[in-house]
Amino acid sequence: MAGLEDLYREIILDHYRNPRNRGELETPPAHMAEGFNPLCGDEVQVFLHVDDDTICDVSISGQGCSISQSSASMMTTAVLGKTVDEARQVIRAFKAMMSIHGDDLDGSDHDPSNETVGSGVSLGDLEALRGVVKFPVRIKCATLAWNTLDQGLSEAAG
């Protein structure tokens, strides 16, 4: 049985209690994208300043549970300073980790998500969110900010 400690790792609670890059950026030059989780009412705004194909600033506002807030906080630290392409790779890697089929459910060493993601993308602290896959209704909490960032990158680039 998956216990609470599998879900609420210490680093997750730390990002929840002390969110990084919290607040709003001036638009323009930044772009704002908004995401909703219709299930629970969580809302997130991702502010994104892309300059010369690089994410030179990113911040988060909105409200949500510990999983959605910590995931958003960790996301900002993971993509800040990255190029748009690099950020998209991180998004893909994270979403692959959050895919139930990509999870190591049978306990074997083989992890198919590695194959779809490709090598070279390290998720670092974000690995702490891997336990969320054991709680399927919470996956949308974890991916809310990421889907919103994805949408924001497309809009900002467009």
Partner 1 sequence: MTVPADNTETPLDVAAIKADFPLLNRQVNGHQIVYLDSGATSQKPRQVIDTLDRYYEEINANVHRGAYHIAEQATSATEEARAHLQCFIGAPSPREVIFTKNATEAINLVAYSWGRANLNEGDSILITALEHHANIVPWQQLAAERGIEIRWLPLTDDGRLDLADLEQMLDGVSLFAFSAASNVLGTLTPVRRLADAAHAAGALCLVDASQAVPHLPTDVTAWDCDFMVFTGHKMCGPTGIGVLWGRAELLDAMPPFLGGGEMILNVTREGFIPNELPWKFEAGTPPIAEIIGLGAAVSYLEAIGMDAVRAHEVALTDYALRTLNERHGDDLAIHGPADTDERGGVLSICYRDVHPHDLSQVLDQRGICVRAGHHCAKPLMKLLGVGATARASIYIYNDESDVDLLSDVLAEAGEFFSHQPA
Task: Give the contact letters, 34-53, x = binds to partner 1 (CB under 8 A), - = no.
Answer: -----xxxxx----------
Quote the least distance from Cβ 142 to partner 1, whole Å.
Answer: 11
H or E element that contains 113: helix 112-117
> Using the rule CB under 8 A, is 13 a contact of partner 1?
yes
Please state, as a whole number, how many other Cβ atoms lie within 10 Å of the Cβ of residue 22. 14
What DSSP string describes 36-53? E-TTT--EEEEEEEEETT
Selected binder of partner 1 within 46, 67, 75, 149 (CB under 8 A): 67
Residue keyed to tokens 């502010």: 47
> Using the rule CB under 8 A, is 136 a contact of partner 1?
no
**CA dihedral over 94, 98, 99, 102, signed as positive or negative:** positive
Selected binder of partner 1 within 55, 58, 79, 141 (CB under 8 A): 141
Q: Write out the residues near partner 1 by the rule CB under 8 A.
A: 1, 3-4, 7-8, 10, 13, 17, 39-43, 63-67, 69, 135, 138, 141
